[in-house]
Amino acid sequence: MKKITIAIDGFSSCGKSTMAKDLAHEIGYIYIDSGAMYRAVTLYSIENGIFQGNEIDTERLRKEIGNIHISFQLNPETGRPDTYLNGVNVEDKIRGIVVSSRVSPIAALGFVREAMVAQQQAMGNAKGIVMDGRDIGTTVFPDAELKIFVTATPEIRAQRRFDELKAKGQEASFDEILENVKQRDYIDQNREVSPLRKADDAFLLDNTNMTIPQQKEWLQEQFNKTVKG
């Protein structure tokens, strides 16, 4: 069967990666978490003194962006891809609140987006890919055959993220996460370059009251309809 491109965009922490990974696994496609790439650039900036306090040394980051190599490798224990920054596994580090609270200003920089989008488009060249993020259906793959836009209430999203971090033993407060989710939504929707918005031809999914198996089934149905017509 001919392979297609699947773009899953939407607000923070609503279950995009969960759905995208499950579908990719089910249909034998490659899964790419584009948010992990912006998170890795943010971690690099923090660890190398480029992002200090509220200040980003954009000139330094612009010079060093070509030295930031991000890749993914399947983790046999979790069955999911781990993120590598210049050859080092940073999967746990990039998911914590320190990176979450700084990633959106980094992702708003035009030259950072340009570098990431070029890598993402190269990864999706051969189709057979499910990619999730904020601008996949609008900018990275505007011709994707299947586009989904996911949303849920901020409180539900913060609760999901809180439960996830707690299960991993990472320190976090619900209020801090809720604030972070709302702040990122605001920055992501209002930045100048590729702001978060639903592509006109994307299907909208509000999964506030859906379980993980229910949303998985819904997505599989959309895929079946798209490939079988």
> What is the x/- site pattern for ligand CDP, positions 37-56, by CB under 6 A?
-xx-----------------
Residue of 34, 45, 83, 138 interacting with ligand CDP (CB under 6 A)? 34
Residue 144 CB-density burial (10 A; 0-12 exposed, 13-18 middle, 19+ buried) = buried
Tell me the chain's radius of gyration from C-alpha atoms. 17
Q: Which three-class secondary structure string do you get for 32-79?
A: EEHHHHHHHHHHHHHHCCCEECCEECHHHHHHHHHHCCEEEEEECCCC
By the rule CB under 6 A, 103 interacts with ligand CDP: yes
DSSP string, 88-121: EE-TTGGGSHHHHTTHHHHHT-HHHHHHHHHHHH
Strand order in the sheet with 129-133: 30-33, 129-133, 5-10, 146-151, 203-206
Residue of 31, 35, 43, 141 interacting with ligand CDP (CB under 6 A)? 35
Consult the annotation and say whether 14 binds a ligand: yes
Residue of 104, 138, 151, 207 interacting with ligand CDP (CB under 6 A)? 104
Question: Footprint of ligand ADP on this chain (CB under 6 A)?
Answer: 12-18, 132, 160-161, 164, 207, 210-212, 215
Consult the annotation and say whether 229 binds a ligand: no
Residue 34 interacts with, from ligand ADP, ligand CDP, none (CB under 5-8 Å by kind): ligand CDP
Residue of 18, 20, 81, 133 interacting with ligand CDP (CB under 6 A)? 133
Q: Which residues bind ligand CDP (CB under 6 A)?
A: 12-13, 34-36, 38-39, 103-104, 107, 133-136, 184, 188
Annotated binding site for ATP: 10-18
Annotated binding site: 10-18
